[in-house]
Amino acid sequence: MLDADLESWLRLSLVSGLGVRSQLLLLRTFGEPAAIFSASRAELKGLVSPALIDGILHAAHKHDFPERQVTADWLESENHALITLDDPSYPSQLLSLPDPPTLLYAKGNLKLLKKPALSIVGSRNSTPQGVSNAEAFALHLSNGGMCIVSGLASGIDAAAHRGGLLGSGSSIAVIGTGIDRIYPASNRDLAHQLAKEGLILSEFALGSPPIAGHFPQRNRIIAALGLGCLVVEAALGSGSLITARQAVDIGREVFAIPGSIHSPVAKGCHALIKNGAKLVESADDILAELCFGNDLFSTSTQVEETTTVHESDSSFLDQLGWDPIDLETLIERTSLTNSALCEILLCLELEGKLASLPGGRYQRIGGGG
């Protein structure tokens, strides 16, 4: 059974026609959902329309509603949760939105909401190169300590999730359906992996179908959860550009990968770059901008790690050799963890001693030493 407080939040979210902004107005006025449902018609007058007042009063006097039991049953499963606006687990990043969701359905590891994150979005009709770029960037960023946020759509979103899950930072999917439904069905296995190793979020009630209007709405959450938003491929007028604009509106950095001037899915990225988005050629461009610029790693940690790298980088470069090498082979050679290895690689790349190559490979450059 749901406790009384959680039931009130659920009841509020289910009032027909009562959008998030109206819910927030009522919460600012009355303080909590239970007080809203205790209010009289006269107290509600002027805050919302007469039709919505009727809906609120009807919900207040409805002692039982089918969604209550369905939700209670869903919460019985492991790692299922409802996160309300006043819950300690509620992601504070969303409070920068003018309309943060009042209730989130969550499935997976809630601790990921406390990690620094980057949103990655792009075309559903992606190119093979775009998919490769999205997965490679996501993997590198994930191993650099960032959680990858995307929307579980086909194409770039799915590639970003795969890369995030392969790395140590993992991945969060924000979906436009009820959390008990997977859309598109082709991503069912990926969704199961996200629920097990990452996190899935939805603000829509259980059973909600993939309605077109839900997806622009969920995009604001994708934009807000990240410290920045990377657009990998996007056509002009695409949903990815909407997400990028939403990111700009709430003060997030926007990054874009350039492409061929002849490619339709590069035109959106080029338009973003013309309007001030940062052109990026590697994931380290983003890590340098966000991680070090925004103190995601404490100063003491940076000093300690950099000192360790300087003391041992000659030996490490000897193990690296001069030929291109992938991360898995490096782990075998050095016996370092993914996280420690990626931190060393990042420092050496910033010092100009190695370069990251397509396909997640690295190569020593310059004179070494």
Position 311 pLDDT exceeds 50: no
Q: Is residue 116 pLDDT above 60, yes or no? A: yes
Tell me the per-residue pLDDT of 235-255, one tens digit each, with 9 for 90 and over.
998 999 999 999 999 999 999
Distances from the Cα of 194 to the Cα of 110, 204, 216, angstroms: 12, 18, 22
What is the chain's mean pLDDT, rounded? 88
**In the chain, where do the E strands start and end?**
80-84, 103-108, 117-121, 147-150, 171-174, 199-202, 228-231, 253-256, 278-279, 325-326, 354-357, 361-364
pLDDT at 13: 95
The answer to whether 147 touches 109, Cβ cutoff 8 Å, is no
Res 268 pLDDT > 50: yes
Distance, in Å, from the CA atom of 186 to the CA atom of 154, rounded to the nearest integer, reads 8
Query: What is the structure's pLDDT at 292?
Result: 37
- Distance, in Å, from the CA atom of 192 to the CA atom of 107, rounded to the nearest integer, reads 10
Q: So what's the pLDDT on residue 306?
A: 37
Average pLDDT over residues 212-230: 95
Q: Confidence class of residue 358 from pLDDT cuts 50, 70 and 90?
A: low
Asked whether the predicted pLDDT for residue 320 surpasses 80, the reply is no
CA dist., res. 242 & res. 223, Å (int): 9
Query: Region 196-209: what's the mean pLDDT?
Result: 97
Q: Is residue 93 within 8 Å of residue 224, measured between CB atoms?
A: yes
The string of pLDDT tens digits covering residues 136-155 is: 999 999 999 999 999 999 99
- From the list 220, 215, 149, the residue with the least C-alpha distance to 177 is 215
Q: Which domains does the chain carry?
A: 1-69 (1.10.150), 108-291 (3.40.50.450), 297-364 (1.10.10.10)
**pLDDT tens per residue, range 154-189:** 999 999 999 999 999 999 999 999 999 999 999 999
Q: What is the pLDDT of residues 21-73, one digit of tens each?
A: 999 999 999 999 999 999 999 999 999 999 999 999 999 988 778 899 999 99
Q: What is the pLDDT of residue 333?
A: 79
Residue-level pLDDT at 309: 39
**What distances in angstroms separate CA 117 from CA 14, 249, 265, 292, one per listed residue?**
30, 18, 25, 14
The fraction of the chain above a pLDDT of 70, given in percent, is: 88
Is the pLDDT assigned to residue 307 strictly greater than 70? no
